[in-house]
Structure 1
Amino acid sequence: MTNALQAMLSERDWILADGATGTNLFNMGLSSGDAPELWNVEEPEKIKALYSGAVDAGSDLFLTNTFGGNASRLKLHDAQNRVRELNIAAAHLARDIADAEDRPVIVAGSVGPTGEIMEPMGSLTHAIAVEMFHEQAAALKEGGVDVVWVETISAAEEFLAAAEAFKLADIDWCGTMSFDTAGRTMMGLTSSDLVDLVAKIENQPLAFGANCGVGASDLLRTVQGFSARGPVVPLISKGNAGIPKFHDGHIHYDGTPELMADYACLARDSGATIIGGCCGTTPEHLKAMREALETREKGPRPSLETITERLGGFSSAGDGTGEDAAKPERTRRRRRG
């Protein structure tokens, strides 16, 4: 049976995904350090408002509030035994919103990293990682998501464990990594490395790409790194709404709706099919992105100079795949909003 996202990918030149989860929930009153996933049962109307905000702004696809919904992350809040409950609750709320629309809207079950380091550098074994990802994916599937979506991954080993877990759960999936360290993931992978990794996975994703990272410019340079390799799997671009700045006791992202509209079209022209935002991206940004994608004709692949002129400069001299590969520049680490 054809997956709903697979069908949409076959019919559309671009698909608008959603924006931020964490930063939008903070704006609704979530306190720093609290588990957003608990709001799936404690504040369901706020979670439905989060989902509705994206859908009403024009998103064709949105992620569930389950980024930290695995046993390892929930253990920090003494909720490691509530994986099934919290993920099913998030998926049910999402289905309520998606199914009320008179157009197709895809519900993607968000799966974040475990927060642990895998062997041989850390203590997390492959088997335990697969078990944790499988538990979450099975719950999201039970709750009714169309696809699971692993995001903000930095290690190849964790990406592979997730792919294996999704096969066990018998559910289609997408996957993104975060390239936040001079064009590489925290564990050193480049855009080219991810293309090679995806190519050898038996359980192929419906789409793959990049999310979060440093800023929209850096993310598009990574997307161009993917597309230059000619992958057969559709690409995902989910960039932050500018750069985070601390103001009046809160983290704010400086990207305007106009900047994110430019970003969306540049992402499409760089080879991405699924285009959305990450930290700092609000419904206001999404509305501008949707309008731009609908009204601006597709253009040629933009040069790196064009990207920096429209979106701002890169945080590093290169993306880790060229002459700079041996000497990656230091850059600040990403903080999730």
Structure 2
Amino acid sequence: MSDKFAKALETKDVLLADGATGTNLFNMGLESGDAPELWNTDEPNKIRALYQGSVDAGSDLFLTNTFGGTASRLKLHDAQHRVGELNRVGAELGREVADKSDREILVAGSVGPTGEILEPVGELTHSLAVEMFHEQADALKEGGVDMLWVETISAPEEFRAAAEAFAMVDMPWCGTMSFDTAGRTMMGVTSSDLAKLVEEFDVPPMAFGANCGTGASDILRTILGFVAQGTERPIISKGNAGIPKYVDGKIHYDGTPELMADYAVLARNAGVKIIGGCCGTMPIHLEKMREALDTRPKGDRPTLEEIVDIIGPFSSANDGTEEGAGGAERRTRRGRRRA
């Protein structure tokens, strides 16, 4: 097992992660509905450029272009037989970019949701989910990632399946859920639920947290929810660059580089160890985040009022943890990628 990630967590005050995959690949010509993972073999130079953009912007780690790399997701593109190849190559391209840098860069193997609903609500069995995650994790390990990183998860059952699979391949791992329904995930998980869940595994994640969601303000409120549980485990925050809006027929995220710089500083002050961006976050945002983290002194943990004053209002009145809070209704969805 690689100890590079553990050393980075121990020696650095904060780690800057990467930004969006989809936003940047769409800017390179990816068409809506296409599988980004196919570009690992079809457009390797563009995937190298994706990774290099994060490194050049100052990121300490980046995630591989393998979010939809399980057999269930690739089956939508008749590529379920290519799980091993596409994940391995996505990791190898990342290793190539990281290893040529003059500073240490960590490569995280991105693992997204299966896109299916696990029993008892859905039809996907626990054993099959573990098998799919195991197949992907094996390939990412072969490709040379430093750790595995499951992201944008909504259901605790799927999180458990990923944790079991990752333990089988003996790799350090991280995990994030998306709290996008009035402070809860689509399947009703709260920040306090996740903080408790990660301590139940035989091999717990080295860091956990939130990604995606509904904007920088909301994810910071979720982070404070983790902190309130008294967790000593490193926390991850990868918030969207603002709120998506349709502009000239295309989705545009309204978060400026300056707003994301403020978000990064507030996240650090709240106690976050790994800070990055999700949907809409491009290298120009990461550059400002890096600059802010390096130049602004650490301050006190922000209050909810300070978050609203600096970043903007929350999208809901509560964070999902209050008794009787909205958002507890269980709904189903297919996992989204990091746009």
Q: After TM superposition, is the score higher than 0.5?
A: yes
Counterpart in 2 of 1:239? 239
Counterpart in 1 of 2:35? 35
CA distance in 1, matches of 2:13, 2:79: 41
* 1:56 matches 2:56: yes
Counterpart in 1 of 2:70? 70
CA distance in 2, matches of 1:291, 1:323: 40
* 1:101 matches 2:112: no
CA distance in 2, matches of 1:3, 1:114: 28
Give a deviation string over 1:166-199, Cα, whole Å, max 9, x none. Answer: 0111111000000000000000000000011001
Answer whether contact 2:184 2:328 (CA < 8 A) is retained: no
Partner SS for 1:218: helix
CA distance in 1, matches of 2:119, 2:55: 40
Answer whether contact 1:317 1:324 (CA < 8 A) is retained: no
Counterpart in 1 of 2:228? 228
* 1:18 matches 2:18: yes
CA distance in 2, matches of 1:92, 1:255: 32
Displacement of 1:302 after TM fit?
Answer: 0.4
Q: How does 1:137-152 map to 2 (within 5 A)?
A: 137-152=137-152
Give a deviation string over 1:48-93, Cα, whole Å, max 9, x none. Answer: 0000000000000000000000000000000000000000110111
Answer whether contact 1:112 1:151 (CA < 8 A) is retained: yes
Answer whether contact 1:107 1:145 (CA < 8 A) is retained: yes
Partner SS for 1:288: helix
CA distance in 2, matches of 1:293, 1:208: 20
Answer whether contact 1:316 1:329 (CA < 8 A) is retained: no
CA distance in 1, matches of 2:327, 2:114: 26
Give a deviation string over 1:299-319, Cα, whole Å, max 9, x none. Answer: 111010111111111010001
Displacement of 1:2 after TM fit?
Answer: 5.4
Between 246-255 and 61-70, the greater mean CA deviation after superposition = 246-255
Counterpart in 1 of 2:114? 114
Counterpart in 2 of 1:259? 259
Answer whether contact 2:66 2:90 (CA < 8 A) is retained: yes
Partner SS for 2:145: coil
Answer whether contact 2:137 2:166 (CA < 8 A) is retained: yes
Displacement of 1:230 after TM fit?
Answer: 1.4
- How big is the alpha-carbon RMSD for the aligned residues of Structure 1 and Structure 2? 1.5
Partner SS for 1:124: coil
Displacement of 1:335 after TM fit?
Answer: 6.1
* 1:175 matches 2:175: yes
Displacement of 1:250 after TM fit?
Answer: 1.1
Displacement of 1:102 after TM fit?
Answer: 1.3
CA distance in 2, matches of 1:2, 1:49: 25
Gaps of 5+ in 1: none
Give a deviation string over 1:129-154, Cα, whole Å, max 9, x none. Answer: 00000000000000000001000000
CA distance in 1, matches of 2:289, 2:67: 23
Identity among equivalent pairs (%): 70
CA distance in 2, matches of 1:47, 1:252: 22
Q: How does 1:254-293 map to 2 (within 5 A)?
A: 254-293=254-293
* 1:79 matches 2:79: yes
Structure-2-length-normalised TM-score: 0.96
Q: Which of the pair has the greater relative contact order for Cα pairs under 8 Å at 6+ separation? A: 2
CA distance in 2, matches of 1:22, 1:236: 20
Partner SS for 1:199: coil
CA distance in 1, matches of 2:301, 2:158: 32
Displacement of 1:201 after TM fit?
Answer: 1.1
Answer whether contact 1:137 1:169 (CA < 8 A) is retained: yes
Amino acid at match of 1:213: G
Gaps of 5+ in 2: none
Amino acid at match of 2:138: A
Structure-1-length-normalised TM-score: 0.97
Counterpart in 2 of 1:212? 212
CA distance in 2, matches of 1:146, 1:288: 26
Counterpart in 1 of 2:136? 136
Displacement of 1:328 after TM fit?
Answer: 3.5
Answer whether contact 1:130 1:162 (CA < 8 A) is retained: yes
Displacement of 1:324 after TM fit?
Answer: 4.9
**Following TM superposition, where does structure 1 have runs of at least 4 consecutive aligned residues deviating by more than 6 angstroms?**
none
Amino acid at match of 1:172: P
CA distance in 1, matches of 2:295, 2:168: 42
